[in-house]
Each structure stands twice: as C-alpha cells, then as structure tokens.
Chains A and B, each alone.
Chain A
Amino acid sequence: MANLIVRRLLQLIPLLLGISFIVFISLHLAPGDPASMIGGPTATKEDLASIREDLGLNDSLFTQYLRYIGGVLQGDLGYSYQTQQSVTEAIMIRFPNTFNLSVASIIVATVIGVGAGIISAIKQNTSLDVLSTVGALAGISIPNFWLGSMLILLFAVYWQWFPVAGITSPPWTMQGIKELALPAITLGTGSAALIARMTRSAVLEVIRQDYIRTARAKGVREKNVILLHCMRNAMIPVITVIGLNFGFLLGGTIITEQVFAINGVGRLLIQAIAARDYTMVQGAVLLIATLFVLVNLLVDILYALVDPRIRYE
C-alpha cells in the first residue's frame, strides 16, 4: 500500500509537467495575450507595448516557460497577469467553495443514486424499477445549466425556499446548507444517475451470489441480508463513480458556479482563460489535476479497504 502511494505521487510529477506544458502552449497559441485583455478595447499601440514589457511578455516562449516552471518548482505559482494577485492566494480564496460544492453534490448523488439503485434492483423488472431507472436516466439527460436556471426560478424566485445564488455562510450552518442545496442538486443529478445504474447491477449481482442465498437459507431476515451485504457491495460503484467522475465534477462545477454565482475555482478558470491570464489558468489547472490524481489514489485505497479481494502489486 505504501508502495502504491509513493509510486502514484512520483507519477504525479511528470503528469503535472506534461499538463503545465500543454496548457502553456495552448494558451500561447490562442489569439490574444494578457496585455491585450488588460489594455482592453481602448489600448493604443504604446499602451500595449508598455504593458507587454511590464509583464515580461516580450521574452521568448521558452524563457517564459522556464521562468514559470522554475517558480513552480520552488512552490511559487506566480502572480496573476490580470489582477497582480498571488495565484496561490486567488485559488485558496476560491477552493473551499468548489470543494464544498463538490462534496455536497457527491452527497446528493450518493443519496439519490444508491437509493434509486437499490430500489430498482430489489424490485427488478417492476414498474418501480422502470420508474427509478427512467428517473435516473432523465437526471443524466438534463443539461445542467438548464436545470440550474429552472431550479432558481422555481425554488428561489417563485417559492423563495432557497437563496438565489452565492455562498456566504459556512456549509455547516443552516444558511450554508440552503445556499449549497440548489447548486448541489444541479451538479449531483448527473452522477446520481450513474451511481444508481451501477448500484443496481452491483446489488443484482450480489443477490444472485451464493452467500446471500446461504444467508437467506440460514433464516436471516431479508432486510438485514440486503442491508449488510448489498450496502457493502454498493459502496464499490459509489467509490468508482466518485473517483472516475471527479474530473467531471470539477468540470461541472465550472458551469454550476457560473449559474449560481459561486466564487469557485471553476469560475476563476473561465475568467482566466477569457482574460488569457496564463499564470492563473496554469495554477488552477495544476491544482485540479493534482486533486484528480489524489482523489483517484484515495479511491484505490478505499477499494482495497472495502473489498479485500483487490490487491495492488
């Protein structure tokens, strides 16, 4: 296990180098540069020239990349071209919101997904099964920006049960939960469908297995049988989905944060790409990639804990 962790963390280094290189190149290939965006539509040639000089954009690409990577290796993600704020600081302000949103949406997805999955497995081929399958699939089929706007209109404007947008309170307060509810539902429905689907097949598989039959035969009450054995096995799809979809979740936060005016890393990214804020995009992407790898590592560890049959070399 320790071996696995060390190996994965070592693999992270070339991965991050690769990502930073790709992001760097693609941003520089995109038309426009930070100076152009800082100067805005009113900038004259002189304005642009002095901004470029000030930002060091006249150096060769190679020099710029080395300068950047040199900083990163010393733990310095640099400064935003646009706001001149430290990139680390800018990300740290926003990361908690994104994190809370992701966790809340995973909770929503798990509750709905595992519930629907178990019901449809137990009630296999009944109308309840069809209903929850259809429901889960409908969830995956709704464009989430559309769902978000609809939820705001209904629950925040019409009924006013929830605040419209923004996050102002910590997630453990009532206000914080309410603020997270709509965005978490918006983001979580997609994953819920996947979890439901996988839970259903996992539970079906378990039901057919011998030890369940044995347990039943031994006279254990059905509810307990299912509870004990299925839940444990249902954990695996949940973990898998969380792990594999973490990238998706972070991607989803980009749109959800936009709709719900949440000051998160996703929105930071949209703006930074639009502003050609090279350092900011780099920093945020590196953070996301690192998280992705760490979450997947965590998932693998959890696998091993939940299912002792899984072994890592």
Chain B
Amino acid sequence: MAMDTAVSTGGVPVEAPSPEQPKRLASTWKRVIKNRLALVGLIIIGMQVIMAVFAPLITTYDPAVLDLSVKELPPGSKGHWLGTDEYGRDMWSRIVYGARISLVMGISSVALGLIGGVALGLLAGYYRWLDGLLMRVVDLMFAFPGILLAMLIIAMLGTSLVNVVIAISIWSIPSCARIVRGSVLSLKNREFVMALRSIGASDIRIMLKHILPNCTAPIIVFGTMRMATAILSTSALSFLGLGAQPPTPEWGAMIAAGRDFMWTSPHMTVIPGIAIMLVVFAFNVLGDGLRDALDPNMETR
C-alpha cells in the first residue's frame, strides 16, 4: 500500500534560478552524504542497482526454472544459500532478479506519473483559465482510492506488470500535479518570468526552460519517495492476484505465494518481505535526506 507523499514534499521551497547549478548540485550531494540515514538509503539503493544490472553474473540459477527435487530447502542449504521455494527455484536468484523488476517497475511508473503530473501541474499553474478545470480533474483523481483505481484499470486491461505500471503512474499524477502547480504559481509572477515575457519569449519556452528547472527540487523529492510507493503498490496488487504473472520473481508476488508456507518454510515470505522493506525504507530515507538537503532553511545542525 502506498502513502500520499504530497504532504511531506510540500515544504520544499522554490528557489529563484541560480547560475551556479553544478555547485548547488555538489552542495546538495554533500548534505545528503552527511545525513547518515540518507547515506544508508543510498547504499541500499546502490546495492539494488548493482543486483539489477549484474543479475546474470551474480546468480547461478535461472529464477524461473523449476526443480522439484530441491523444493522448499531452508536457507543455508548447499548450493542455495537463501534456500529454495515451493518449486525448487533458487531464492537468491529470485531475489536478485526481483530487484531488477522492482527497480524497473518503480522507475517506469514514477517516470510516467511525473510526466503526466508535471504536464498537468505546469499547465494548471501557468494558465489561470485552465487551472479550475485541471484542478477539478486532479480532485477527481484524488477522490479515487489508488488501489481501487488500479483494480479498475487491471479489470479493464488485464493482469500484467505493464498494466500495473499504468495504474500506478496514473495514481501518481494528482499529487505530482499539485506540487508542480504550487511551485509554478509562486514562480510565474517573479521578476525573471515577467522579464522573459516582456522580451517576447513563448509560453512553452518559459515553462520548460525557465519555470520547470526551478521546480526540480520538489519533483526530485517527490519522485524518490514515489519509488517507495510504487514498489509497495506493486506488491499490494500482487497480493490481490492482480500483479506479476508467474513465474516472474516479483517480490510482492513471492510474499503472497510464500504466506501459505509460513509454518513450514518461513523464509519464502520473510526474505522477500525484508527485501521490500529495505528498498522501500531506502527510498524513503533518501527522499527525506534530499528534502532536507534541498531546503536551505532546514539547517539540521
């Protein structure tokens, strides 16, 4: 299940354009690194990325091939240090390939959601006449519990990870749109925008070249935290039987399948559970760290 992170990113202020972008990036980076928790998050995410990229190199078994002769081995078994599942598939391979899936799922659904949300937010914030209409659309999307929206979309389009991505990205749009709109509203009457307009810059140019780069901070924070949401939501949908198709080693599907073996082979549900927790945790703390780092008023020390 997922949280609405709109609230927690709302505090990030929007800054005027600064010519020294690289410098700012570096200082943000330093601040994030200094934050111990965010550093932990970064390390976990880094590990996930490594697992995802080098999956074939660090595993010896195909995550989808059954071998019923070795089913339900406990962790520490010979050749399967994390054990095997009910079909004798290597848990380590499944976790590693699952890292790839959760990363891809998270990135693609967040990216799609951001595109939609940013577009809506920019338009609504910039054009006053569109604002009312677009924000009503956003309200409409808000009033729909995300999981319900996902269930409807999946009932309509069928069960597959692609449709889960669509569902989750649509679900990200309203919060993102609100955040962007808020930033745009505070930016568009600033002097530099007025100046650009007076020299005849087109609306699109102003929006994309000048306003958008100045709302990146809240968008980055939102996107990071939304990764956590997306990963959790995928697992929730898998729990309802609406997510990954077998034998895809999706972590949520693994938990759901493993729950029935709680008494006999608890590792089948505990290991993917821990994997999800760590990753979601990592994105959350990183998001937190980024927010603090990007907020010049929040001097933590």
Q: In the complex, is A directly touching B at CB under 8 Å?
A: yes
Q: Is residue A255 contacting chain B, with contact meaning CB distance below 8 A?
A: yes
Question: Which B residues are CB-close (under 8 A) to A201?
Answer: 11, 298
Q: Which 4 A-B pairs have the closest CB atoms?
A: A251-B145, A141-B280, A251-B147, A30-B155
Q: Are B152 and A293 in contact (CB under 8 A)?
A: no
Q: Is residue A40 contacting chain B, with contact meaning CB distance below 8 A?
A: no
Q: Is residue B16 contacting chain A, with contact meaning CB distance below 8 A?
A: no
A130 vs B140: C-alpha distance when bound (angstroms): 38
CB of A299, distance to nearest CB on chain B (Å): 11
Q: Which of A143, A194, A285 is close to B232, meaning CB atoms less than 8 Å apart?
A: A143
Q: Is residue B104 contacting chain A, with contact meaning CB distance below 8 A?
A: no
Which of chain A's residues has its CB closest to B174's CB? Answer: A247
- Using known A-B contacts A140-B3, A255-B1, determine if residue A285 contacts B144 with beta carbons closer than 8 Å: yes
Question: Which B residues are CB-close (under 8 A) to A248?
Answer: 1-4, 145-146
Q: Is residue A79 contacting chain B, with contact meaning CB distance below 8 A?
A: no
A146 vs B240: C-alpha distance when bound (angstroms): 12
Q: Which of A124, A143, A247 is close to B239, meaning CB atoms less than 8 Å apart?
A: A143
> Which residues 216-266 in B have Cβ within 8 Å of A in the complex?
228, 232, 235-236, 239-240, 252, 255-256, 259, 262
- Using known A-B contacts A144-B1, A190-B1, determine if residue A273 contacts B285 with beta carbons closer than 8 Å: no
Which of chain A's residues has its CB closest to B152's CB? Answer: A26
Q: Is residue B192 contacting chain A, with contact meaning CB distance below 8 A?
A: no
Q: Which of A29, A190, A255 is close to B156, meaning CB atoms less than 8 Å apart?
A: A29
Q: Is residue B269 contacting chain A, with contact meaning CB distance below 8 A?
A: yes
Q: Is residue A182 contacting chain B, with contact meaning CB distance below 8 A?
A: no
A141 vs B136: C-alpha distance when bound (angstroms): 31
A140 vs B37: C-alpha distance when bound (angstroms): 15
Q: Is residue B7 contacting chain A, with contact meaning CB distance below 8 A?
A: yes
Q: Is residue B277 contacting chain A, with contact meaning CB distance below 8 A?
A: yes
A: which residues have CB within 8 A of B?
A: 11, 14-15, 18-19, 22-23, 26-27, 29-31, 124-125, 130, 133-134, 137-138, 140-146, 149, 153, 190-191, 193-194, 197-198, 201, 237, 240-241, 244-245, 247-248, 250-252, 254-255, 258, 269-270, 273, 285, 288-289, 292-293
A-B contact pairs, 30 of them (CB 8 A): A11-B136, A15-B139, A15-B143, A18-B140, A19-B140, A26-B153, A27-B152, A30-B152, A30-B156, A130-B37, A137-B288, A141-B281, A141-B284, A142-B273, A145-B236, A146-B273, A197-B8, A198-B8, A244-B6, A247-B142, A247-B143, A247-B146, A248-B4, A248-B146, A251-B1, A251-B145, A270-B151, A273-B152, A288-B144, A293-B139
- Using known A-B contacts A14-B136, A19-B143, A27-B152, determine if residue A241 contacts B273 with beta carbons closer than 8 Å: no
CB of B218, distance to nearest CB on chain A (Å): 15
Q: Are A244 and B228 in contact (CB under 8 A)?
A: no
Q: Are A141 and B276 in contact (CB under 8 A)?
A: yes
Residue in A146, A194, A237 whose Cβ sees the most chain B Cβ within 10 Å: A146
Question: Which B residues are CB-close (under 8 A) to A141?
Answer: 228, 232, 276-278, 280-281, 284
Question: Which B residues are CB-close (under 8 A) to A191?
Answer: 3
